[in-house]
Every structure is written in C-alpha cells, then in structure tokens.
Amino acid sequence: MRLGVLDIGSNTGHLLVVDAHGGAAPLPASSHKQPLRLAEHLDEDGAVTDQGIAALTDFCASATRIAEDKGCEEMLGFATSAVRDAVNSDEVLAHVEQHSGVRLEVLSGEDEARLTFLAVRRWFGWSAGRLAVFDIGGGSLEIAGGTDEGPDVAWSLPLGAARMARSFFGGARPSEDEVRELRRQVRADIARDAGHLLRPGVPDTAAATSKTFRSLARICGAAPSGEGPLVPRVLELETLSGWIPKLMEMSPEELADLPGVSPSRTHQIVPGALVAEACMDIFDLPALEICPWALREGVILARLDQISIVAGRG
C-alpha cells in the first residue's frame, strides 16, 4: 500500500510518501519538506505564534494535496516536541485540523524514543545485540536501549539543538561562558538518568539517527548522502571533540559551507555538537553508528505491524 507520513518536527515539516507492505523495507516514493522552525516560533509564554500556526497549517494543507496526488491510501500525521510542549498545543491542533483537514497525533517523548528505537532495530537487525539509540531533534533528545524490538528503557529530554540555540545563544555566536553553562547543564541533565541505560551493561551497538547526528558525522568525515543509505557511517567522539572548538569560532557563512550543514541550521550546530559529545562521553561510547532510519520509519513500521495483526485475526 502507499502511505503518506506527515512528520511535524521542531525544525521541519516533512511529508514522506512510501510504498510499504509487511515483511519489506518501506520504499520512499516521494518527499516534500519545508523549514517550519516551530521551536523558534514561540512567544515569551511558550505559545506557538500566529505566524508559526499559519505556516504549519499551510504546510499541512499542501502536504494533503501532494499525498492525494501521489495516490496515498492513508496519511499518518504526527507532531513532536515543539507542538507537544507549546502552552497552546490544543489551539494549534484545532486550527490545523479545521483549516487543513489534517488531524495530527502528538507523540509523547517516550513514544518518540520507542518508535525511533523500533526503526533502528529493524535497520541493524538482531545481530546488533543490546542496542542503544540516540536522537537529537530540534526540541528534544531521545534515548532508548534494549535487546528486543521494543526498548527496555526510553526517555526524552528537552535538549534539542534548536531549543538549546534559542535558550542559550539567542541566535548569536556563543561566548565561552555561555558554552560552558550549556555544557554543564546538558551533561547534568543526561547523567541524571544515565543509569537506566547503563545498568543492564554496555550496549553491543550504539547508534544515532536524524539530521543533527548525520550533519555532525558528515562534518567529521562520513560519506555524503549521495553515496546511498547502505554505506556505513560513524561519528567518532575523538574527532567530534576536536571539531567543537573550531565550530565555535566559525561564522554562520563558514558553517554553511561545511559538508552536510543546511544554511537554516547553522545556529544549531554548536549546541547539537555539545549534546552529541555529552551523550558519547557520559555513556562511554567512543563512536556511534549512524542509522538512516528514524522516527518516520518507526511510525510506518508500527502501522504495518498493526495492519498485519488485524489481517491475521481476519
């Protein structure tokens, strides 16, 4: 069947159209994305602004038309931390549904971590053994670990790259004091619950996914996306730590010239790098394998599993 997956993240709105059926990898057929930067369209009270709501609604309406044109039988729409944490979340969702016809499901941070874990597990398979998964989004960091398709532990922290850039840097180049304070807070927040993942033992495979980790891996020498998803990509802690001081000294224009960095995300590179470094350091991981599948694929796989169960009962 052909599915449309509408992912409303803290940075980007992304419609992915896939051909999918049980027992096969989802095959991308079409992709449509737009920078929404909802994590930065928040007022002083933590509400999504009228401008942010309008941009989100327009994108959902256009995504619906594209999904229909591409022949989607079903569209799965979901939103993550920017909408989840907004004080006017219900108002945002109601406006989007009324004016675009799209009903968005707001995923909890734990559900986000669990679905991402499912996608990474399916990508690497059972040979990955005990698996640890890290995902830095625009608004939150998800961590999950376990030996099965569902993680034994999964949690979410408000440590997304866009959120950190907005809260600590205000869009300007950070000072040494600002970076030190961000680094201290990030590490304290991650370490607080680190035992959940560490207690069962060292993971056999540690993986990272989504745009921030992919960009950092590319900066640190990983293969470009044009070489395809099957090329192994790794982010090494030593290399990343060596890059961070250089990233802090770069202008937005210089950052945008780096491989794998979108001009609209240059201000997120340093906070994202600090969060990634903290994850690897605190969990004693010298390297992370980069997985091309993430939350969207997890949503698709969970839906296919659900369809297969219903068909089996029939």
| Strand ranges inside the chain, DSSP E | 2-8, 12-19, 27-35, 74-79, 105-106, 131-136, 141-146, 153-157, 205-209, 234-236, 287-291
| Tens of each residue's pLDDT in the chain, 314 residues | 899 999 999 889 999 999 988 788 899 999 999 999 888 888 989 999 999 999 999 999 999 999 999 999 999 999 999 999 999 999 999 999 999 999 999 999 999 999 999 999 999 999 999 999 999 999 999 999 999 999 999 999 999 998 888 888 765 677 788 788 889 999 999 999 999 999 988 899 999 999 999 999 999 999 999 999 999 999 999 999 999 999 999 999 999 999 999 898 898 999 999 999 999 999 999 999 999 999 999 999 999 988 876 555 65
Residue 167's pLDDT is: 82
Amino acid at 3: L
DSSP state, residue 285: -
Residue 172's pLDDT is: 64
For residue 12, list its beta bridge partners: 35
Contact yes or no for 165/171 (Cβ under 8 A): yes
CA distances in angstroms from 256 to 152, 253, 266, listed in the order given: 38, 5, 6
Query: Mind listing the pLDDT tens digit for each residue in 17-26?
Result: 999 887 888 9
Residue 306's pLDDT is: 87
Contact yes or no for 130/138 (Cβ under 8 A): no
Residue 302's pLDDT is: 94
Residue 195's pLDDT is: 96
Residue 239's pLDDT is: 98
Other beta carbons within 10 Å of 176: 8
CA 62 to chain centre: 22
* Alpha-carbon span 35 to 38, nearest angstrom: 9
* Alpha-carbon span 250 to 219, nearest angstrom: 13
Residue 231's pLDDT is: 97
Residue 182's pLDDT is: 87
Residue 309's pLDDT is: 64
* Alpha-carbon span 300 to 296, nearest angstrom: 6
Other beta carbons within 10 Å of 34: 15
Residue 314's pLDDT is: 56
In total, the chain counts a number of residues equal to 314
* Alpha-carbon span 243 to 217, nearest angstrom: 11
Query: Mind listing the pLDDT tens digit for each residue in 276-309?
Result: 999 999 999 999 999 999 999 999 999 998 887 6
Mean pLDDT of the chain: 93
201-240 residues labelled b (16+ CB within 10 A) or e (exposed)? eebebbbbbbbbbbbbbbbbebeeeeeeeeeebbbbbebb
**Quick one: what percent of the chain has pLDDT higher than 70?**
96
3-state secondary structure of 159: coil
